[in-house]
C-alpha cells in the first residue's frame, strides 16, 4: 500500500514562509573517518550561518579524524571509551557538550554522507515549524564500476527509504529514522535516551520519539547520499548489521508498540508497529517463495487451490509494488535487464538471515570504507 500510494502525485509541501532565526547545531559522529569526513565537511560548511555550530565527535578514533575535522574548521570533541562503542554513545556525548548552550534544532549527519546545498536550513525550518523530528530522503550511491548486486542493493534502499517513506508521508503517518539527514527540536531529542550500543540506533530512536509524542515526518525534497562499500566482505558485514538489527526491532518492539497503541488509543503507534513488522524486502520475498512452495505441495495432496490462489495474490502484490516503484523512482539506478539478477541477490542474502537464527549480530561494528587509509586535508 505504501508503494502504491507513493505513485500518485501529491500537493507540494507548503512553503515555510518567514521563520524566526533558528539557532542550529550539526552533530557528526565519526569513528576513524579521516578518509571520508573532509568531503562531508566541504559540503556542509558553506551552508552554515554566522552563529551555527558544526561539531564532530571523534569517537574512539585511532586515525587522524580529529585533525582533518579541525583543518576544515569544525568544532571537534574527542571521546575515548572502548567499553562503550557505538553511534548512540557518540551522539549522547555530543548532546552533553551542547547542553550548556543548546540549539533550537539539532541536525545529525553521518561522516560519509553528501547533501544538497539547502539541506541544513530546509530540515531545520521544517523541524522548527512543526516541532517534530524530520528525516531527509537517504539514498545509497553505488561504487564505481558497480556489480549488479550493488545496483540491486541501491534499489532496495530506494524502495525502503524513499518510496515507502513517501507513501507513509502521503498517508499522514510517522516516518522511520534512517540514521543521517535527521533534524530534531532540542526538546524532542532531549526527551529520549541515546546512550546505547544498539546496532540500529536510528530505528530505536524513531520509536522512542514517537512514544514520547514526537513522531518523525519525511522530507522527500531533501536528499542525503551515502556510499555502498565496494568490497563484498565489507558489504556483507554492513548488511548483516542492518538486517539483524531490523529483525531484532521487529521481534522486540512491534509487540510493545501494538500493546501501547491499544492501551493508549494512539493510532500512530499502530501505524509504526505495522511498518516495522514488514521484514526486509529480500526476506519478505524469501518468505513468500517458501509459502508458495508449501501451498503448491499442500494443493497436490488434494486440499484444493485456495492456498495457491492466496499466495499468488500476495506475490502479485509484492512484485507489482516493486515493479511500479522501479518504474517511477528507480530506472536511473538499475536497468530492467539487471532486475533479472534479483534471484542471485536473494541467494547472497540467505546466509545473513540464517546467521540471525544461530548467531545474531549484537555489537555495533563500524563499516570499513573503501578509502580507509589516505588523509583528506583541505588545501592550504
pLDDT above 90 (res 231): no
Domains of the chain: 22-230 (3.90.550.10), 279-358 (no CATH)
At 376 the pLDDT is 47
Average pLDDT on 85-103 reads 95
**Pairing verdict, β 217-227 and 114-115:** antiparallel
- Residue 207 binned pLDDT confidence (cut-offs 50, 70, 90): very high
Cα atoms in the 13 Å half-sphere on the side-chain side of 367: 25
Separation between Cα atoms, residue 365 and residue 380, nearest integer Å: 34
- Residue 373 binned pLDDT confidence (cut-offs 50, 70, 90): very low
What residues form DSSP beta bridges with 108?
27, 182
pLDDT above 90 (res 196): no
Average pLDDT on 38-52 reads 94
At 142 the pLDDT is 86
Q: pLDDT tens-digit profile of 303-337?
A: 889 999 999 999 999 999 999 999 999 998 899 88
Cβ of 290: how many Cβ atoms within 10 Å?
11
At 126 the pLDDT is 95
Among the residue ranges 22-36, 70-84, 187-201, 358-372, the one predicted with the least confidence is 358-372
Higher pLDDT, 212 or 10: 212
pLDDT above 60 (res 135): yes
Average pLDDT on 61-88 reads 95
Q: Where are the beta strands (DSSP E) in 248-332?
A: none
Separation between Cα atoms, residue 342 and residue 347, nearest integer Å: 9
Torsion angle, CA of 77/83/84/86, rounded to 10 degrees?
90
Largest CA distance in the chain: 78
At 12 the pLDDT is 63
Residues 202, 206, 208, 214, CA torsion sign: positive
Closest to 128 in 3D by CA, of 159, 107, 154: 107
Return the percentage of the chain with pLDDT > 90, whole number.
Answer: 73
- Residue 362 binned pLDDT confidence (cut-offs 50, 70, 90): confident
Average pLDDT on 147-164 reads 92
pLDDT above 50 (res 380): no
pLDDT above 70 (res 97): yes
At 23 the pLDDT is 94
Closest to 330 in 3D by CA, of 148, 158, 125: 158
pLDDT above 60 (res 276): yes
- pTM for this one? 0.90
Separation between Cα atoms, residue 242 and residue 202, nearest integer Å: 11
Amino acid at each position: 500500500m505504501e508503494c502504491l500510494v507513493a505513485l500518485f502525485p501529491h500537493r507540494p509541501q507548503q512553503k515555510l514562509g518567514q521563520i524566526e532565526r533558528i539557532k542550529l547545531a550539526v552533530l557528526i559522529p565519526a569513528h576513524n573517518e579521516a578518509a571520508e569526513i573532509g568531503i562531508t565537511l566541504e559540503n556542509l560548511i558553506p551552508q552554515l550561518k554566522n552563529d551555527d555550530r558544526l561539531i564532530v565527535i571523534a569517537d574512539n578514533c585511532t586515525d587522524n579524524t580529529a585533525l582533518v575535522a579541525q583543518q576544515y574548521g569544525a568544532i571537534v570533541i574527542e571521546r575515548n571509551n572502548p567499553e562503550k562503542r557505538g553511534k548512540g554513545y557518540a551522539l549522547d556525548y555530543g548532546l552533553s557538550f551542547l547542553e550548556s548552550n543548546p540549539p533550537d534544532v539539532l541536525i545529525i549527519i553521518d561522516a560519509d554522507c553528501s547533501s544538497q546545498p539547502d539541506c541544513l536550513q530546509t530540515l531545520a525550518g521544517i523541524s522548527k515549524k512543526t516541532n517534530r523530528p524530520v528525516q531527509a530522503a537517504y539514498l545509497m550511491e553505488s561504487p564505481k564500476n558497480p556489480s549488479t548486486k550493488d545496483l540491486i542493493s541501491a534499489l532496495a534502499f530506494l524502495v525502503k527509504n524513499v518510496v515507502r517513506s513517501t507513501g507513509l508521508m502521503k498517508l499522514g503517518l510517522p516516518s522511520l529514522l534512517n540514521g543521517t539527514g535527521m533534524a530534531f527540536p532540542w526538546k524532542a531529542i532531549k526527551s529520549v535516551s541515546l546512550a546505547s550500543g544498539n546496532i540500529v540506533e536510528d530505528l530505536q530512536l524513531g520509536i522512542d520519539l514517537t512514544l514520547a509524542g514526537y513522531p518523525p515526518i519525511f522530507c522527500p525534497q531533501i536528499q542525503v547520499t551515502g556510499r555502498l562499500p565496494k568490497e563484498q566482505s565489507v558489504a556483507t558485514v554492513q548488511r548483516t548489521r542492518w538486517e539483524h538489527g531490523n529483525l531484532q526491532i521487529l521481534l522486540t518492539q512491534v509487540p510493545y508498540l501494538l500493546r501501547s497503541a491499544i492501551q493508549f488509543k494512539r493510532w500512530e503507534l499502530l501505524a509504526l508497529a505495522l511498518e516495522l513488522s514488514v521484514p526486509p524486502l529480500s526476506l519478505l520475498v524469501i518468505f513468500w517463495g517458501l509459502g508458495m512452495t508449501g501451498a503448491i505441495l499442500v494443493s497436490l495432496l488434494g486440499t484444493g487451490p485456495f492456498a495457491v490462489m492466496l499466495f499468488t495474490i500476495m506475490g502479485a502484490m509484492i512484485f507489482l509494488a516493486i515493479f511500479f516503484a522501479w518504474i517511477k523512482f528507480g530506472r536511473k539506478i538499475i536497468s530492467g535487464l539487471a532486475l533479472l539478477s534479483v534471484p542471485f541477490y536473494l541467494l547472497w542474502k540467505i546466509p545473513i538471515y540464517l546467521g540471525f537464527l544461530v548467531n545474531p549480530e549484537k555489537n555495533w561494528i563500524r563499516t570499513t570504507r573503501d578509502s580507509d587509509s589516505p588523509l583528506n586535508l583541505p588545501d592550504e
